[in-house]
Amino acid sequence: MNNKLKFFLIIILLAAISINYSNGLRGLAGDVSSFVIGLYMSAKEGLGDAIDEHFNQRSEIRLLREKNAELLEVAQVSAAYSAKFNNMLKEANLSEYKVKTKIVRALSYVNLGDYNKVWLDFDDFDENKIYGLMYQGYSAGIVTSSKGRALALLQQDPKSSFSVYMGVEKIKGIAFGSGDKIEVRYIPLWSEPKADDEVVTSGLDNIFFEGLKVGKILIVYKNESYFTAVVEPYAAVEVPGFFHVIL
């Protein structure tokens, strides 16, 4: 006999008691039956929530597997291009080009309420160097030294800045944080940046390598002597766990 049938039999029994006994017993039986019905409905609702959570987890796992397959394909293609490129450099007696990165753990926010400054677990960093920071394959900010510790300034922070290209014309500019967005400033007035142009790192600052995706231009406006582009960043760092640092 399953649990559901047991509950219904108990309810029927209590209903019979309420019909055949006194008003006092009828009231007591009614209270108990209401309690049992409430208990049954709560259990049913809890079971439904557990089932929903289970299927949501399965859906997320499936999506993550699909994403991993895509990343594996990209990694394989990138490795092939890298090998071919470095063979060309070797034939020209040039040094091999290799991007070195390191996974670092986010420890905590520096200040409560400021989500653009994060302490990193990065013991062997060079205090005199500025590092590029990546998150989920996109630019995420820079790493500097503060009080002898590695400090991540996420790219929306006003003190975060690095060099970028915009659009297919590779228009030059400098990216600065502006709270929840990025502003690319010092864009020459003779250039023509426009909305939906993709922004990538230029590699001219020795912080990032060239071509790392930053975001897309939302609007462009003119200052006295240059254009400024407001950029929606690709990286959405809400609760940071781990980053990649470009060494």
The enclosing domain of 133 has a CATH number of 2.40.10.350
The predicted pLDDT at position 18 comes to: 52
Residues 105, 77 share a domain: no
pLDDT at 245 over 90: yes
pLDDT band at 136 (very low <50, low <70, confident <90, very high): confident
- Do 64 and 118 belong together in one domain? no
Among the three residues 49, 79, 96, which one is the final residue of a domain in this structure?
A: 96
- Give yes or no for a contact between 234 and 135, defined as CB atoms under 8 angstroms apart: no
Q: What separation in angstroms does the CA of 42 have from each of 30, 39, 45, 178? A: 18, 5, 5, 48
Q: Which helix (H) or strand (E) holds 6?
A: helix 3-20
> With pLDDT > 90 as the criterion, what percentage of the chain qualifies?
46
pLDDT at 218: 97
More confident residue, 131 or 49: 131
- DSSP-derived secondary structure letter, 124: T
Helix (H) or strand (E) holding 119: strand 114-121
- Does residue 185 carry a pLDDT above 90? yes
Task: Report whether pLDDT(12) > 60.
Answer: no
Q: Are residues 45 and 143 in the same domain?
A: no
HSE-up of 173 (CA within 13 Å, CB side)?
33
204 and 104 housed in the same domain: yes
* 189 and 91 both lie in a single domain: no
